[in-house]
Amino acid sequence: MESILLAIDPRDALWIAIAFLCGWVATAFRLPPLVGFLVAGFVLNAAGAEAGEFLAVTADLGVTLLLFSIGLKLQLRSLMRPEAWGVASIHLVIVTLLLTGFFMLLSTTGLHLVAGIEWQTAMLIGFALSFSSTVFAVKILDIMGAAVTRHARVAIGVLIIQDIAAVVFVAVTAGKLPSAWALGLLLLIPFRHVLHFVLARTGHGELMILFGIVLAVGGADVFELVEMKGDLGALVVGMLLANHPKANELAKALLGFKDLFLVGFFLSVGMTALPGWAELVIAACLLLFLPLKVALYFGLFALFRLRARTAWQSSLNLANYSEFGLIVGTMATAAGWLPAQWLAVLAIVLSVSFVVSAPLAASGDRLYARWRTRIKRFERARRLPADAEFHLPPVDVMIFGMGRVGASIYDAMIASCERSVIGVDSDETKTEQHQQAGRHVISGDGTNPDFWSRVPGLVQRLEWVILALPSHHANLSAAERLREHGYSGRIAAATRYPEQAESLEALGVEFAFDIHGEVGRGFVEDLRPRL
């Protein structure tokens, strides 16, 4: 009897098993699992393995769902801010020119692959390496529970501008300009009302998930039909739904599928090509250039008047090279502009930058706290409107994270105790919705070490701080920031799994409540008068 599993290459199951083992080991060292997936790609590459069609399909689907999920959380106005398009444009030009000069200088050494390189080819490689990875950065932000924070919005804004530049470049160099039918994509703007209508009536189960996958894949296909990048289509369709009340619920429902399929992406990156010694030397030089690339991001963010911490963390979010480099490398080798060995150089640079960037971004606040005095020297005295100081009345209780859990806690405390309560959320749109509903909510990030400097004296006046942020990592980070600023009051935190309570209690959290367990107890308490 023929097994259905034979419908895919039997080797793919082995590759996935190895990815699981490497991801498991990575988590044991407190690294994101995706670092393990990249290492698994290296191991398989060294063993002579080649990615099959199944991994390629899952990789493409993972990227499509990821960009669709970005769109669901992205407000168009965030792309129109100078700190997004201004930094992205200036950074692209400067890094391209610097790397062009670097390669021309390196060509004088007689080193294999760069000896006699022409300036046009050097500029092409420099342009490809000026980008940062949208897929990787957003994945790290998801792990950190920081996808809607200010530094995440700034970083994603820069990445979207870079993606648009990449689309234009690929179209021009390939001689593949958008067809005349591309103008018809403008009809998607009024058509969003139909999408909103359908999404509102898909319920909360498998129909909603299926509708999300249809929109992501369908949006990509529609853009491909008019000779435009499919990934951009998934992003745009997601943006059309960003203001829908169920957008956040849809993004969460797709989370597991997106994470699963992205394993194929990270595996395929590591399995792209096997470098030799000459390739490793050039890759090492490019990796040494990475700190300069990050420093330039930070300097430009500071120049555009972002607060020091926001500029710092946004820069670390972008501290990597982009898979766009592999795309350009493939095009250049196919056209005969570059030797095929350059693909190995670009693959190793991309992969190692991912491995370095993941723990660096996750440790951003810890590093900022250590070097805060030095970093703050670059901060401009003039503030952007989103970074203005807070002027708050006396407050007894502060709730960080005003999602469904945080909003429920806020309403219950307002109704049952005689204390002044304020909510804090990093999502500006959500903050405005709470304010319109009559809740006292401000826009801020509890994981930001500089948050408390915007509300001087408040940390000494608070009686309770309640942490209801979207991830355990974010709750831990907020608790650390409180203790660093000398908060001696009481802390409560929401958890989703019993084992999370121990690490929170080690930071002085007095009460860690399991939101799933509390649902049952709350139900019984409400039911008791009726029994």
Same domain, 197 and 325: yes
Say if 126 falls within a structural domain: yes
Range of the domain at 480: 389-530
Write the CA distances from 487 to 400, 482, 500, 505, 507, integer angstroms. 15, 5, 22, 15, 12
Write the CA distances from 395 to 460, 465, 475, integer angstroms. 11, 11, 21
- Minimal CA–CA distance to 137: which of 120, 116, 152, 149? 152
Phi, psi of 514 (to 5 degrees): -80, 110
Q: What DSSP string describes 285-333?
A: HHHHHHHHHHHHHHHHHHHTT--HHHHHHHHHHT-S--THHHHHHHHHH
Residue type, 499: E
Question: Which pLDDT score is estimated for 3?
Answer: 43
Question: Which pLDDT score is estimated for 114?
Answer: 76
CA distance linking residue 470 with residue 473, whole number of Å = 9
Q: What is the tally of structural domains in the chain?
A: 2
Question: Which pLDDT score is estimated for 10?
Answer: 62
8 CB-contact burial (10 Å; exposed 0-12 / middle 13-18 / buried 19+) = middle
Across the range 155-167, mean pLDDT stands at 82
CA distance linking residue 72 with residue 254, whole number of Å = 11
Residue with tokens 């901060």: 379
Question: Which pLDDT score is estimated for 169?
Answer: 75
Strands 421-425 and 464-467: unpaired
Tokens of 458: 């408040």
Residue with tokens 């390496």: 129
Say if 502 falls within a structural domain: yes
Q: Say if residue 386's pLDDT is above 60.
A: yes
Q: How many residues in total does the chain contain?
A: 531
Across the range 157-167, mean pLDDT stands at 81
Same domain, 201 and 305: yes
pLDDT digit string, tens, across residues 173-220: 655 567 778 888 888 889 989 999 999 998 888 899 899 999 999 988
- Minimal CA–CA distance to 459: which of 442, 440, 482, 479? 482
8-state DSSP, 177: P
pLDDT digit string, tens, across residues 351-360: 788 888 888 8
Please report which confidence band the pLDDT of residue 5 belongs to, taking 50, 70 and 90 as the band edges: very low
pLDDT digit string, tens, across residues 221-271: 888 888 777 777 888 888 888 888 888 888 878 877 877 787 877 777 767
Residue with tokens 């060995």: 341
Number of helical H runs and strand E runs in the chain: 23, 6
Question: Which pLDDT score is estimated for 418?
Answer: 72
Q: Which of 328, 355, 376 marks a domain boundary? A: 376
Write the CA distances from 505 to 70, 218, 501, 518, integer angstroms. 33, 46, 6, 18
**Residues 311, 387 contacting (CB under 8 angstroms):** no
Same domain, 351 and 395: no
CA angle at 367 for the pair 366 and 371, rounded to the nearest 5°? 125
Residue with tokens 């006396």: 394
Question: Which pLDDT score is estimated for 92?
Answer: 93
Same domain, 357 and 409: no
Write the CA distances from 386 to 151, 291, 300, 390, 399, integer angstroms. 11, 28, 18, 10, 20
Tokens of 46: 């060294």
Tokens of 86: 């201004």
pLDDT digit string, tens, across residues 342-383: 777 887 788 788 888 888 888 888 888 889 889 988 888 777
CA distance linking residue 311 with residue 346, whole number of Å = 27
CA distance linking residue 98 with residue 480, whole number of Å = 39
Question: Which pLDDT score is estimated for 2?
Answer: 44
CA pseudo-torsion sign 445, 143, 300, 428? negative
Say if 517 falls within a structural domain: yes
What DSSP element (H or E) covers 131?
Answer: none
Same domain, 83 and 208: yes
Please report which confidence band the pLDDT of residue 1 belongs to, taking 50, 70 and 90 as the band edges: very low
Same domain, 394 and 368: no
Q: Which of 324, 351, 376 marks a domain boundary? A: 376
Please report which confidence band the pLDDT of residue 319 belongs to, taking 50, 70 and 90 as the band edges: very high
Question: Which pLDDT score is estimated for 197?
Answer: 92
Q: Which of 333, 352, 376 marks a domain boundary? A: 376
Same domain, 244 and 316: yes
The residues near 53 (Cβ < 8 Å, ≥ 6 apart) are 9
User: Across the chain, what does the average pLDDT equal?
Assistant: 81
The CATH number given to whatever domain includes residue 395 is: 3.40.50.720
End-to-end CA gap in the chain: 57
Question: Which pLDDT score is estimated for 316?
Answer: 93
CA distance linking residue 123 with residue 31, whole number of Å = 35
Same domain, 361 and 492: no
CA distance linking residue 124 with residue 72, whole number of Å = 33
- Among 139-143, 148-152, 323-327, 498-502, the minimum mean pLDDT is found in 323-327
pLDDT above 70 as % of the chain: 88
Say if 49 falls within a structural domain: no
Same domain, 217 and 343: yes
The CATH number given to whatever domain includes residue 152 is: 1.20.1530.20
Q: Say if residue 391's pLDDT is above 80.
A: no
Q: What is the largest CA-CA distance in the chain?
A: 87
Question: Which pLDDT score is estimated for 339?
Answer: 75
Same domain, 428 and 454: yes
Q: What DSSP string describes 221-277?
A: HHHHHTTS-HHHHHHHHHHHTTTSTTHHHHHHHTHHHHHHHHHHHHHHHHTS----H
Strands 490-495 and 441-443: unpaired
- Minimal CA–CA distance to 37: which of 328, 233, 235, 271? 271
> What is the model's pTM?
0.73
Say if 339 falls within a structural domain: yes
Same domain, 354 and 421: no
8-state DSSP, 80: S
Say if 108 falls within a structural domain: yes
Within 10 angstroms of residue 519's Cβ, the number of other Cβ atoms is 10
- Among 119-123, 131-135, 261-265, 266-270, the minimum mean pLDDT is found in 266-270
Question: Which pLDDT score is estimated for 4?
Answer: 40
Question: Which pLDDT score is estimated for 259?
Answer: 76
Same domain, 320 and 346: yes
Please report which confidence band the pLDDT of residue 6 belongs to, taking 50, 70 and 90 as the band edges: very low
Tokens of 285: 């030089």
